[in-house]
Amino acid sequence: MKICADVGGSFVTLAVVDRAGTISHRRRLTTPADSWDAIVDVFRSFAAIHGADAPLSIALSGFVDPASGVVTSANVRCVSGRRLATDLEAALARPVIVTNDADCFVLAEARRGAARGHQRVFGIILGTGVGGGLVQDGRLLSGAGGVAGEWGHGPIITRSRSDPAATPYFQCGCGRWGCLDTVGAARGLERLHVWLHGENTDSREITARWEAGDARAAATIDLWLELVAGPLATILNTWAATIAPVGGGLSNCGALIRELDIQVRRRMLAMPPAPLLVPASLGADAGLLGAALMADDWVTTHKSLWPLDVTVQSTFRT
């Protein structure tokens, strides 16, 4: 049994997850994003009722440096800059594992969801932001600073020198300009619609209008596909994933993901005959299930210490 938490900027979802992946005692609370004491109390209160000495595994909206354990999170400001696992272990007297939420998503889909049985998986998030993660042989891969598979950030779009207004070139929340996140996420789709038509419209309405044959929505979706499919094809050429489960709000439009898959495969050097992009199957549970799998891996790796020694550094990545 593990205590698992999916921590975002708006909400914390807590639950107990057993070895089989059964979720129970689910609770959803507003995230105290600016108060360290309050967020510790959220975990402490839940653990006191349900946890005994079980480990706490967190899927976090943020990155964990695998060398230092230091967390960077724009949405949960009270944990940013902390060695979060170590600090929570000291406060809660139990092992704590902290993993990026997109990584938890792809790990869960690779082991329990739509990508089960595949050797090499690229998990894609198309929601409020653009994110991703990499799994090979059932194990997460990580890079410097805990970043791997994060294709939403970095200057992908450049402004035309001869006609700057001809390019949808926006500043990203990360501070850079031209990131794919600025156009590929749900907010990016909305931004493109404003840029093309001067009309503020929710992403769900844009996709619904597109499916209904609306010309303006079709122009927005066509531009979105053009901007997103190329970089994604390049990633899949490089990573050679055999499947790419897609989560996040835009994945709820099955027709959009099917069309994106077609456009991506057409742009690859060797067009795969079967779809690569598939809707994720675990829904909102993916973060909790991925966190639980990370806890299982931690317990296996540290079984000689568990449950007596909780002072080890618990941000477990490979």
Total domains in the chain come to 2
Which of the residue ranges 119-123, 134-138, 148-152, 301-305 would you say has the lowest mean pLDDT?
Answer: 301-305
| pTM, to two decimals | 0.89
H or E element at residue 62: none
Average pLDDT of the residues in 164-169: 86
* 309 within some domain: no
* Top-confidence residue, 302 or 143: 143
152 and 191 inside one domain: yes
266 and 168 inside one domain: yes
203 and 259 inside one domain: yes
* 316 within some domain: no
Digit-coded pLDDT (tens) for 195-228: 999 999 999 999 999 999 999 999 999 999 999 9
Digit-coded pLDDT (tens) for 55-89: 999 999 888 998 899 998 888 999 999 999 999 99
* 211 within some domain: yes
* 296 within some domain: yes
125 and 159 inside one domain: yes
- Reported as a pLDDT band with limits 50, 70 and 90, residue 125 is very high
* 310 within some domain: no
78 and 191 inside one domain: no
State which residues form the domain around 43. Answer: 2-103+284-301
* 175 within some domain: yes
All residues at 6 or more sequence positions from 109 whose CB lies less than 8 Å from its CB, including other chains: 115, 116, 121, 123, 245, 247, 280, 281, 282, 286
Q: Where residue 48 sits, what CATH number does that domain have? A: 3.30.420.40
What's CA 163's distance to the chain center, in Å? 35
* 164 within some domain: yes
